[in-house]
Amino acid sequence: MTASTSAAGGRGPGAQESGYEPDPRRWRALWVTLVAGFMSLLDVTIVAVALPTVQRDLHASPAQVQWVVSGYALTFALALVTAGRLGDALDRRRIFLLALGGFVLFSAACGAAPDITLLVVARLAQGLAAGFMAPQNSALIQQMFRGAERGRAFGFFGATVGISSAAGPITGGTILALAAGEQGWRWIFYVNVPIGILAVLLGRRLLPRTRRSGRGHLDVPGILLLGLGVLALMYPLVQADSGGVNRLWWLFPAGAAILVVFARWQHRLVARDAQPLLDPRLFTTVRGYAVGAGIGTLYFIGFSGVWLVFALFYQRGLGFSPLLSGLAVTPFAIGSAGAAVIAGRLVERFGRLLTVCGLTGVIVGFGGTALLLRLAPLHSAPWLAAPVLFLGGIGSGFVVSPNITMTLRDVPVRMAGAAGGALQTGQRLGAALGTAALPGLFYLVLGGSGDYRGAVVTALCSALVGMLAALALALFDRQRDRGADRPHRKSPDETADDPMHARHT
């Protein structure tokens, strides 16, 4: 038996995950998924630097052009959990390849769009395809790897997440610098096409299949409830630039209420021994899942929002080009990439301590950057801040990669897609909140005082609030582990003891 048949087929929550044999192609298959994941996550931020050019070229309003970014993020988040559940029930390989093919097709449609309406429609479809692809990445890692190898694989996955988020500005700026004329922004989308086609061809050859579940019932009411809840929470945030938070504030309590109904419905399905969209026992019985999801959401509030703030400060405040603006924050991406790979090798040994140290490093990095941007001579402040940002990047590498590993390592393989989708949904919600709130604070301070330095410092200090909350949660989890004074048990796919089964029975 190979990794392609290791996922549990039609078994209940308490079934034993067994029969694992390493697939000799697993590392090559991993790189296919990482390249595809990099493209999908990069497209969250890469377009931001091209928005002024897109607006001029397509004669769009500010509200219309904002949907090029926010529409992608919205449909991305809406698809995650449902896509993960479909991958678990059907075939992760098939879902991944279909979604990747759709992503390539809609990327080409974005590049060829003749007007802003068609561009926004194509971006919505592109985000939907990315959302269907993303949870298959983490689920395939769960399926293909075990033990220390899984930590290494998640280390590469965490590096991909960190680099793609931080590298968007410089990648977009580089493409705009190389592409001639006002139509150069189209290459931001066209660049996905040849890379995506190659990934599809390699994926067809290398990716393992998942045995189709005998209980493939899809929780349609759960899909609708979760989709409405996430939409209600995210829609005001993606409309923040046009006053969406003030006009649509009532959607926040409405969305929270819908998610409460969703949670009750999932508990009801479990009590009836039916298949929920997202098994609530992931949060109550799987060690580390709830805490890890909380840390990821809080961290992404600050982590995702700062890049737009940096772009606004460097380009509008200091007059940097998009490329130079991207270069100013590149040290963070470099530090994050290297540290994430190293952290993947250390997570089994040090566990939550890596997250604590990483969050401390990010807080010191962003705090020190805020101090330098406020006090250092304006012409040299960005370059004096580069080493401090590099330190913050190292910290970030020790946050994202270990947290993903510790959050998902005890999840049964048969639920890896839904669990990964829920984890990334939390991250997308945090990213949407940070991307709306931090630039909003930047503009608020700038509008009142005209002080670019004061605006960027206020936004960076606000980002630290979410990171401090994540640090408090990580410290709590580490203290709980030390208080328990027990060795880490093997993940449910490596033992007959399935904690979800024990709690349920």
Tens of pLDDT, residues 459-471 = 999 999 989 999 9
Which residue bears the tokens 């970030």?
396
Distance, in Å, from the CA atom of 404 to the CA atom of 158, rounded to the nearest integer, reads: 7
Q: What amino acid is encoded at 488 in this protein? A: H
Question: What does the pLDDT read at residue 14?
Answer: 39
Bigger pLDDT: 211 or 388?
388
69 closest CA partner among 315, 237, 193: 237
| Structure confidence at residue 490 (pLDDT) | 45
Q: Which of residues 200 and 441 earns the better pLDDT score?
A: 200
Are 485 and 477 within 8 A, CB to CB?
A: no
Q: Given pLDDT bands bounded at 50, 70 and 90, which one contains residue 212? A: low
> Which fold does the domain 22-218+277-484 belong to in CATH?
Growth Hormone; Chain: A; (1.20.1250)
Pick the closest to residue 58 from 188, 234, 235, 186 (CA basis).
Answer: 186
Which of 168-182, 209-223, 337-351 is predicted least confidently?
A: 209-223
pLDDT of 369 above 90? yes
| pLDDT at site 3 | 39
pLDDT interval class at 177 (50, 70, 90): confident
- Average pLDDT of the chain is 82
Is the pLDDT at 491 greater than 70, yes or no? no
Residue length, the chain? 505
> For residue 492, what is the DSSP state?
G
Is residue 455's pLDDT more than 50? yes
pLDDT above 50 (res 273): yes
Q: Which helix (H) or strand (E) holds 316?
A: none
At 175 the pLDDT is 84
Least confident of 154-158, 197-201, 430-434, 494-498: 494-498
Query: Averaged over 123-142, what is the pLDDT?
Result: 90
> Model confidence at 170, in pLDDT bands (50, 70, 90)?
confident
Q: Where is pLDDT greater, at 215 or 331? A: 331
Higher-confidence position of 331 and 179:
331
Percent share of the chain, pLDDT over 90: 25
**Above 80 in pLDDT, residue 489?**
no
| pLDDT beyond 80 at 276 | yes
Q: What is the pLDDT of residue 86?
A: 85
This prediction has a pTM of 0.78
Is residue 191 within 8 Å of 340, Cβ to Cβ?
no
Give yes or no for a contact between 141 and 23, defined as CB atoms under 8 angstroms apart: no
| Number of neighbouring beta carbons within 10 Å of residue 148 | 13
Task: Determine what percent of the chain falls in helix, strand and coil, rounding each to the nearest 5.
Answer: 80, 0, 20
- Sign (positive or negative) of CA dihedral 399, 401, 406, 407: positive
Q: Closest by alpha carbon to 266, among 253, 256, 275?
A: 275
* Angle, vertex CA 431, rays to CA 123 and CA 470, nearest 5: 160
Residue at token pair 């529409």: 71
Q: Hey, what are 401's tokens? A: 């990669």
Tokens 């608020």 appear where?
Answer: 444
Q: pLDDT grade, residue 484 (50/70/90)? A: low
What value does the mean pLDDT take over residues 260-280? Answer: 87
Average of per-residue pLDDT across 174-183:
77
DSSP 177-240: HHS-SGGGGGHHHHTHHHHHHHHHHHHHHHPPP-PPPS-----HHHHHHHHHHHHHHHHHHHTG
Q: Can you tell me whether residue 424 is helix, strand or coil?
A: helix
pLDDT(90) > 50: yes
Q: How far apart are the first and last CA of the chain?
A: 30
Q: Is the pLDDT of residue 106 over 90?
A: yes
The pLDDT, as a whole number, for residue 197 is 95
Across the range 274-278, mean pLDDT stands at: 81
**pLDDT for 132:** 92
26-30, 40-44, 163-167, 450-454: least confidently modelled range: 163-167
**pLDDT reported for residue 486:** 45
For residue 496, the model assigns a pLDDT of: 37
Instruction: Average the pLDDT over 211-229 and give the result.
Output: 75
Residue 433 reports pLDDT greater than 90: no
**Type of residue at 121:** V
pLDDT mean over 386-404: 90
What lies within 8 Å, CB to CB, of 482 at 6+ separation is none
pLDDT band at 6 (very low <50, low <70, confident <90, very high): very low
**Per-residue pLDDT tens for 32-88?**
999 998 888 888 778 877 777 888 888 888 778 878 887 888 888 888 888 888 888
What is the 8-class DSSP label of residue 498? -
Q: Which two tokens stand for residue 159?
A: 């590096």
Range from 162-171, 326-335, 344-353 carrying the lowest mean pLDDT: 162-171
Q: DSSP assignment, residue 321?
A: -
In terms of Cβ atoms closer than 10 Å to its own Cβ (0-12, 13-18, 19+), residue 214 is exposed
What's the average model confidence in pLDDT over 264-292?
85
Which helix (H) or strand (E) is 435 found in, with range? helix 416-449
Mean pLDDT, range 487-504, rounded to an integer: 44
Helix (H, G, I), strand (E, B) or coil at 248: coil
Please state which of the ranges 43-52, 63-72, 413-422, 492-501 shows the lowest mean pLDDT. 492-501
pLDDT, residue 470, reads 93
Lowest mean pLDDT among 8-22, 377-391, 408-422: 8-22
Report the percentage of the chain scoring pLDDT > 70.
88
Does residue 327 surpass a pLDDT of 50?
yes
